[in-house]
Amino acid sequence: MMRLAWLWAAAASLAADPLAEFEKALDAQPDSMQIGSEYRMAVIRMKEHDRCIKFLGDLAAKHPKAPNLHLNHGFAYVDKIPVAGSITQVLLANTALGHFGKSIEAQPTWIAHYTRGNAYLFWPKIFKRMPLAIADLEAAMKMQKADKKRSYHIRNYISLGDGYWKNEEPDKAKATWQEGRKEFPGNEQLTVRLAKSPAEMDALIVEVYDPNKRVDTNLAELWKQQP
Amino acid sequence: MRRARAWWLLIPALAALGNGPPGRVRFAEVGEKAGVRHIHETRKFQGKHGDVLGMFTSGGASSAAGDFDNDGDDDLFVVSSDAGKPNKLYRNDGGLKFTEVGVAAGVTGGNDPKSIVADAIWFDYDNDGWSDLLVARFGTPVLYHNERNGKFKDVTAGAGFNKFGNTIAAIAFDYDRDGLLDVMFGNYFKPVSLIDLTTTKVLPNDLDNAVNGGGVTLWRNTGGGKFVDVTEKTGLSKQSGWTLDLGHGDLNNDGWQDLYVACDYGTDRMFLNNGDGTFREVTEKAMGFDTRKGMNAEIGDYDNDGLLDIYVTNITDEYMKECNMLWHNNGDGTFTDVSKETNTCNTLWGWGAKFGDWDNDGWLDIFATNGLRSASKENYIPVLLEAIIKPNMEFQELASWPAIGKMTWSGYQKKVMFRNVGGQVFKDISAEAGVDNDLDGRGLAVADFDGDGLLDFYQTNADQPALLYHGQTQGAGNWVQFKLRGAAANRDAVGARVSLKAGPLSMIREVDGGNGYSGQSTQWLHFGLGGAQQMGQIEVRWPDGRKEQIRAEINSFVRIEEVKGGPAKVSVSKNR
């Protein structure tokens, strides 16, 4: 895929409505993960979340079998969470899960499973979403082990371990983090997790999966890794 | 009246403290022994929506501390909310003993079939020197005139309070500085009867940005026991939030009383007094728009910088991370939430919270109630989640909400006491102070009920017994308390400010007319003095802006009576 970072700069400087340039591009390539991701990054900067959600929703209705479009549509809801009220956050998160599910239905990719599994991790334990998180993240793990090693696979070792921890399976969590450290030696996030006491780890989980903090939903790492 | 504890005068070690090492904050729960173990009962609604309505109206366990018999100590009025259930008036007999005199006083009523008692305040509406009583309801309020003989007379009919409101909060303050206390109501639901429903769409239309609540109403005291609705005229009619609490104080030090409106399901509001009988909303500039569940509006200067700050409780729990708001007054018309930085962010499902200097070190500490509903082991939250994530759930519709039955919802929460460490950070001392009960708290009335120089507080709980915590802090600092009486000002001197210097400490307190959710605290202004052995400058600023200096002694009760055209009369006593 071609790099479109230039598009944002060009659009911002030239157009009164820079988001329209992205929308035009997405109309032409609705399932482009890259255009969709860069569109959302622009939306975050411009705080035009509702516009983005509507645009991607309309587009997804026209292209129901486009997995990356559903993924970006789901992320559009995630992107709005930090600026929403506490109840609206729940509704946005739940809606995002639905769109991630549509992405998996359309094409069960690593990124879709990882994304949905990781999204479940933000849910408080009381809502019993951890088994769902683990199922998705294990599916992604299976895929990544069948794939060639990619730098972003480290994320799943972290998330799956966190899922096990949150699901009160500390041995599995540590084993997953240790396996990840073997695959990706020196990774600081894994090292930190493996060094923490149970209480410290619980606190870290609360800190990391705080819905009030913005999650980095920029997918650029994916296409940077394209062979 | 009782003597101040002699041992205060016998601890020379205090002299060496400066404003240094704090006492060990400690309270003992004495409600039963004191005779104030009132059990509040929430309204039981009938019909198929009764369960949900009960869930949404579980506030209202209120109390008000005030000296109705003018014997110098604070009595307690405590409400019930269920149909036919009596309110209680506990007369303080001294020595932490109270006698229930509600029936004889004629103030037990209010929970009639069409009305629900939800709050109460003492205020001297006719400036006769005797505290009158206002009972706020989901309905129309009841105003009782103090007949000075232990009895009260219902004077509602002539007062003009004729508008139905689902009132959950009431304050009395003199917004126009005419010397008469005005009344403001905070209304939760829009003004429809929850008992005789004409529509089932009565709940919040949005759980973070609701605009279909009851807002506020302001009633001007025109004298002669009459009140006139001036909500629109004063610029307060556009507020349509789900008001849970009201706080007033001079936030910008211009001498006029300003307002903080805490709203559930959405944005709290701040209004500054224009000094011409109107208010202007400054929410966006002062603090921005929040989406939280504002439960409490307590006002005090926690960092002793001469500016009133605001403490608002919200909801923080496993499933909702709102954080409270401690609005630091920046002195330039803006406020900064420093709850995270000061460690006052998390008090779980918040309700009433009050400032009080529990150890008399000169810094305002905090006690915060919490807990919604403690019942069975079954948790309502997962049930609720499944309901609210249904596509197109209509939040305002009663039928959309699952019944709660005997389920628990944010229950069994430990109450939180924070000790203020030098105005910079607060330390959780709940357990060591002995106040970490897990009842379903609602309101607080703070007062030095036994006149020993240490603050006590009364905690009301929904459908559970109330608690009276007696302050027993060892090694606490010195103190002084002031009771102001207005002459040109309203008799209660609500809005008056005392500024005091003692050692390195410089503090302000204002007389308020019912700040903080579901609880009116004493109108005695309590100052902890730390180890200071004498006081420096003491200044009284009366509500009309006139200032005068007075003198007082440490560990004493000081009565200050405004005199028109002359210096105030000051009497200093070691006991009340």
- Mind telling me how many Å the CA of B462 is from chain A's nearest CA? 24
* Per-residue pLDDT, A12: 54
For B353-379, write each residue's pLDDT tens digit. 999 999 999 999 999 999 999 999 999
- Mutation test of the interface with chain A: which of B290, B384, B385, choosing the one with the most A Cβ atoms within 10 A? B385
- Mind telling me how many Å the CA of B316 is from chain A's nearest CA? 10
In sequence order, what are the beta bridge partners of B495? none
* Average pLDDT, rounded, for chain B: 95
Mean pLDDT in residue range B285-310? 97
* Average pLDDT, rounded, for chain A: 93
- Which residues of chain A neighbour B209 with C-beta distances below 8 Å? 85, 88
pLDDT above 80: residue B338: yes
* Per-residue pLDDT, B23: 77
Question: Which residue in A has a C-alpha nearest to residue B378's C-alpha?
Answer: A126
* Per-residue pLDDT, B59: 85
- Mind telling me how many Å the CA of A82 is from chain B's nearest CA? 12
- A109-209: CATH topology: 1.25.40
Which of A88, A124, A212 is opposite residue B319, by nearest beta carbon?
A: A124
Which of B208, B266, B293 is opposite residue A84, by nearest beta carbon?
A: B208
- Mutation test of the interface with chain A: which of B320, B379, B400, choosing the one with the most A Cβ atoms within 10 A? B320
Every domain of chain A with CATH number 1.25.40.10 lies at 1-107
CA–CA distance, B43 with B300 (Å, rounded to integer): 33
Interface contact A91-B320, CB threshold 8 A: no
Residue A211, chain B, CB below 8 Å: the answer is yes
pLDDT level of residue B576 (50, 70, 90 thresholds) = confident
- Mind telling me how many Å the CA of A91 is from chain B's nearest CA? 6
- Mutation test of the interface with chain A: which of B203, B208, B323, choosing the one with the most A Cβ atoms within 10 A? B208
DSSP label of B508? E
Q: Are B371 and B410 in contact (CB under 8 A)?
A: yes
Question: Which residue in B has a C-alpha nearest to residue A94's C-alpha?
Answer: B389
Question: Which residue in A has a C-alpha nearest to residue B409's C-alpha?
Answer: A126
- Which residues of chain B neighbour A119 with C-beta distances below 8 Å? none
Taking the alpha carbons of B454, B325, B417, B78 in that order, is the dihedral positive or negative? positive
Picking from B56, B204, B81, B189, the residue whose alpha carbon sits closest to that of residue B136 is B81
The CATH number of the structural domain formed by A1-107 is 1.25.40.10
* Per-residue pLDDT, A223: 87
Helix or strand or coil: residue B334?
Answer: coil
Q: Locate all alpha helices (DSSP H) within chain A, ordered by sequence.
A: 5-14, 18-28, 33-46, 49-62, 67-80, 86-106, 110-121, 130-146, 154-166, 170-183, 188-195, 198-208, 220-224
pLDDT above 70: residue A179: yes
Strands (E), B302-363: 309-312, 316-317, 320-321, 325-329, 335-337, 350-356
pLDDT above 80: residue B452: yes
- Please identify which residue in the block is written with the tokens 């309101």: B443
Query: pLDDT above 70 covers what percent of chain B?
Result: 96
* Per-residue pLDDT, B96: 98
For B175-207, write each residue's pLDDT tens digit. 999 999 999 999 999 999 999 999 999 999 999
DSSP label of B516? S
- Mind telling me how many Å the CA of A180 is from chain B's nearest CA? 29
Please report the ipTM that was assigned to this predicted complex.
Answer: 0.86
Mean pLDDT in residue range A23-51? 97
Picking from B556, B530, B541, B569, the residue whose alpha carbon sits closest to that of residue B16 is B530
Interface contact B318-A125, CB threshold 8 A: yes
Interface contact A94-B389, CB threshold 8 A: yes
Mean pLDDT in residue range B499-503? 95
* Per-residue pLDDT, A4: 53
* Per-residue pLDDT, B13: 38
pLDDT level of residue B391 (50, 70, 90 thresholds) = confident
CA–CA distance, B160 with B142 (Å, rounded to integer): 11
Chain B residues touching chain A at CB-CB below 8 Å? 207-209, 266, 291-293, 315, 318-322, 379, 381-382, 385, 388-389
- Which residues of chain A neighbour B379 with C-beta distances below 8 Å? 126
Which of A85, A90, A124 is opposite residue B388, by nearest beta carbon?
A: A90
- Which residues of chain B neighbour A126 with C-beta distances below 8 Å? 318-319, 379, 381-382
pLDDT above 80: residue A187: yes
Which of B318, B321, B381 is opposite residue A212, by nearest beta carbon?
A: B321
Size of interface A-B (CB pairs under 8 A): 46
Picking from B114, B108, B165, the residue whose alpha carbon sits closest to that of residue B136 is B165
- Which residues of chain B neighbour A124 with C-beta distances below 8 Å? 318-319
Picking from B36, B37, B98, B39, the residue whose alpha carbon sits closest to that of residue B67 is B98
* Per-residue pLDDT, A1: 39
Mean pLDDT in residue range B243-271? 98
- Kindly tell me the burial class for residue B48, based on how many C-beta atoms sit within 10 Å of its own C-beta (0-12, 13-18, 19 or more): exposed
Which of A84, A127, A212 is opposite residue B385, by nearest beta carbon?
A: A127
Interface contact B208-A125, CB threshold 8 A: no
Strands (E), B42-174: 63-66, 75-78, 88-94, 97-100, 116-123, 132-139, 142-146, 152-154, 165-173
DSSP label of B201? B
Picking from B575, B527, B576, B536, the residue whose alpha carbon sits closest to that of residue B359 is B527
pLDDT above 50: residue B2: no
Which of A87, A124, A212 is opposite residue B207, by nearest beta carbon?
A: A87
- Which residues of chain A neighbour B389 with C-beta distances below 8 Å? 90-91, 94
Picking from B74, B244, B77, B246, the residue whose alpha carbon sits closest to that of residue B175 is B246
Interface contact B389-A85, CB threshold 8 A: no
Query: pLDDT above 90 covers what percent of chain B?
Result: 94
For B262-275, write each residue's pLDDT tens digit. 999 999 999 999 99
- Mind telling me how many Å the CA of A7 is from chain B's nearest CA? 34
- Which residues of chain A neighbour B291 with C-beta distances below 8 Å? 84-86, 88
Which of B209, B321, B379 is opposite residue A210, by nearest beta carbon?
A: B321
Picking from A128, A127, A196, A119, the residue whose alpha carbon sits closest to that of residue A159 is A119
Residue A212, chain B, CB below 8 Å: the answer is yes
- Which residues of chain B neighbour A120 with C-beta distances below 8 Å? none
* Per-residue pLDDT, A146: 97
User: Who has greater pLDDT, B391 or B43?
Assistant: B43
Question: And the tokens for B369?
Answer: 């109630």
* Per-residue pLDDT, A9: 55
